[in-house]
Structure 1
Amino acid sequence: MKKFMKEWGLFIFIFAVIGLSRLFLWQFVRVDGHSMDPTLANNERLLVLSHTSIDRSDIVVASEEEDGKKKIIVKRVIGLPGDTISYKNDVLKVNGKVVKEPYLETYQKLFKKDKLQSTYSYNALFQGLAEKATAFTTDANGSADFTITVPKGQYYLLGDDRIVSRDSREVGTFKKKDIIGEVKFRIWPFNRIGTVQ
């Protein structure tokens, strides 16, 4: 036994530390869908850290219920507990102050150019949604001018591809317990490996 522990003890210890940290501190998640385009693409693999503080503009993984089943989603934090969020013609205000959203610039320009018809050429449903949209960010009823106050202890999450994202505009705010962790690193595909902003 002594010989075994001398030869394998360090390996077993490292394996146990990795296993326990995987259980409580981090996990891998796959992006499912196009709601975070172009920041994150469908099928990309991400490293998610649990137990981090949640700030505005962070990309997080959350759990939601859809048709009675739990589903893992990746979205961006727009509103913190108690915030008043308002949009008017694609300008975000948080508690009365304008907040820039540089991660939306690419798709906002394409929306102004041709309502994303070229970008969404792979999906007729997306083209239809974009064609009807009055702005890049609208509420669930299609209004480009809307305001919401985030309840205490909850978070307002939106996808970066606002035209096709199913998020807090439709399903409501998310409780802290529903947020699994913060996306920190893209691990696949290899040509896009690196930190996520």
Structure 2
Amino acid sequence: MRWFEIALVVLTFASGIIWLLDKLFLAKRRATREGLLDDGDEPVLVDYAKSFFPVLAAVLMLRSFVAEPFRIPSNSMMPTLLTGDFILVNKFSYGLRLPINNAKVVAIGEPKRGDVVVFKPPHHPDQDWIKRIVGLPGDTIAYHNNQLSVNGQVMQYQPIGVYQGVANGAEMTGAEEFAEALPGRPHHVLEWTDRVMDPGEGEWVVPAGQYFVMGDNRDNSEDSRYWPMHFLPEANLRGKAFLIWLNCEGWFCTNAFDASRIGTTIK
């Protein structure tokens, strides 16, 4: 959606400049009809600029500094988030950032373990991904035998049962669902417990200013375990996911629609 962000910024500034120039110079000339062939009428371009600038400016401010909508494109965060969930992301949880370049201009808060975050992955900076933060700067993260460890403490897992997926999530039917006792943010995860070898196993020490992220769908998530650099820089964070406001598959809700997920808080 980077193209939309760029277009929104360009249109907002262009309409604002046209409106300002008209207010400072052109409107006065029209009032006295000093311009050559000037009949005193307001140009169509100025009329459009004056009409759209307040709307565009409001959308830009809300989207950049308050909340931004995203759509979940994959099953990597099942069972917490499903393909087709439309979510809202808090844009000021981790500081106010400029649109387009994502540069932080005001520091407000820091990510906490367990936060579900939207970010730009270092190896795909033109995309927006969503995962859960499991490792903070300085942490030692390990993943072995389908178990997550944080600073030497193995997370506790409570079996929930066999998962039954629907629509695009049907591929995970038969996986085991567990409640993972991540400190500060218990949540559910999915695992294929019958797999002999897990290529995502390993141990990592999180550097300063970076984070270790994982998907809740542990066997179907391209996350820090598999990245070339393994860690997410703080500068790549876009915001904290906090609410599902719609669920339907297909951009125009042409497929399944699940009204029960509307208004669900993301934990």
Q: Same fold (TM over 0.5)?
A: yes
Q: What amino acid is aligned across from residue 120 of structure 2 in structure 1? A: S
Q: CA offsets, 1:36-74, max 9 Å, x none?
A: 1111001210000123131111111011255x6611111
State which of 223, 226, 235 in structure 2 corresponds to 1:177: 235
Tell me the equivalent position of 2:111: 54
SS of equivalent residue, structure 2 residue 62: helix
Answer yes or no: is 1:164 the counterpart of 2:233: no
Unaligned runs of 5+ in 1: 1-11, 112-117, 123-129
Tell me the equivalent position of 1:195: 265
State which of 136, 139, 155 in structure 2 corresponds to 1:99: 155
**Cα distance 1:35–1:121, how it changes in 2: closer, same or farther (>3 A)?**
closer
**Cα distance 1:37–1:14, how it changes in 2: closer, same or farther (>3 A)?**
same
Percent identical across equivalent pairs?
Answer: 29
Residue 175 (structure 1) shift? 0.3
Unaligned runs of 5+ in 2: 1-52, 94-109, 164-168, 174-191, 248-258
Higher RCO (CA 8 Å, separation ≥ 6 residues): 1
CA distance in 2, matches of 1:154, 1:119: 34
Structure label with greater radius of gyration: 2
CA distance in 2, matches of 1:121, 1:54: 29
Tell me the equivalent position of 2:137: 81
Answer yes or no: is 1:44 the counterpart of 2:85: yes
The alignment covers a number of residue pairs equal to 162
CA distance in 2, matches of 1:110, 1:81: 34
CA distance in 1, matches of 2:219, 2:56: 44
Tell me the equivalent position of 2:75: 34
Q: CA offsets, 1:93-143, max 9 Å, x none?
A: 2112233467xx55xx549xxxxxx95278xxxxxxx598336xx444xx4
**Cα distance 1:69–1:58, how it changes in 2: closer, same or farther (>3 A)?**
closer
Tell me the equivalent position of 1:153: 209
CA distance in 1, matches of 2:147, 2:221: 18
Q: What amino acid is aligned across from residue 196 of structure 1 in structure 2? A: I
Query: What RMSD in Å do the two structures reach over aligned CA positions?
Result: 3.0
